[in-house]
Amino acid sequence: MKYYPHPILAKEGWPFIIISLFISLLIYHLSNFWLALPLFIVSIFIIQFFRDPKREIPSQPNVVLSPADGKIICIEETEDVYQNNRALKISVFMNVFNVHSNRCPVDGEVVDLQYYSGKFLNADFDKASTENERNAMVIKLPTGDKITVVQVAGLIARRILCYVQKGQTLTRGQRYGFIRFGSRVDIYLPLDAKPLVTIGQKVFATETILAKLES
């Protein structure tokens, strides 16, 4: 896969942006500005949803970066069902006003990918982690530790996009996927990882450090 950097507007949004602007301009041309205004507002919303800004990548060693923009809604010890072990889980909830481009939180090799079809519950619910449509990516770090990053569909989100393949090497901050229209990302870390965020904290993909690894 060719490395996909930061194009300001995500490639996934161009069909929606073009169609919405075309319809808005068509109504404006055939009728008047006031009738077309609601459609222009919708177009503006779509453009802001698909923004994909460049981010600064922290250089500290042994840290885990946020894979998504949003709000921290969960920090707990739980079962990582994708690796069948206990783990520290940190969840980031994305609303429709957040950037929805997903970025790799660490340097490492993709050793497993698991996709599950499922429901489309509100991604803010805890059970969304295990019942909603989701795509899990297990990454092996150079230290030998493994973490799991899970894209979870939400109430409105109906499309999870993941562009990586098993065996591929990723770098921290690298764009690897996208979830359309509201969702969450769960990240499962070794139990000795030290969380550096709190419940309710606003985080930014790549720029916010979620945790520090001991090894």
CB-side exposure of 67: number of CA atoms within 13 Å? Answer: 32
Sheet holding 160-162: strands in order across? 101-103, 175-179, 160-162
Sheet holding 146-153: strands in order across? 169-170, 108-116, 134-140, 146-153, 183-189, 85-94, 70-80, 202-203
For residue 19, what is the enclosing H or E element?
helix 14-30
Catalytic residue among 20, 24, 43, 183: 183
Does the annotation mark 91 as catalytic?
Answer: no
Q: Which active-site residues does the annotation give?
A: 183
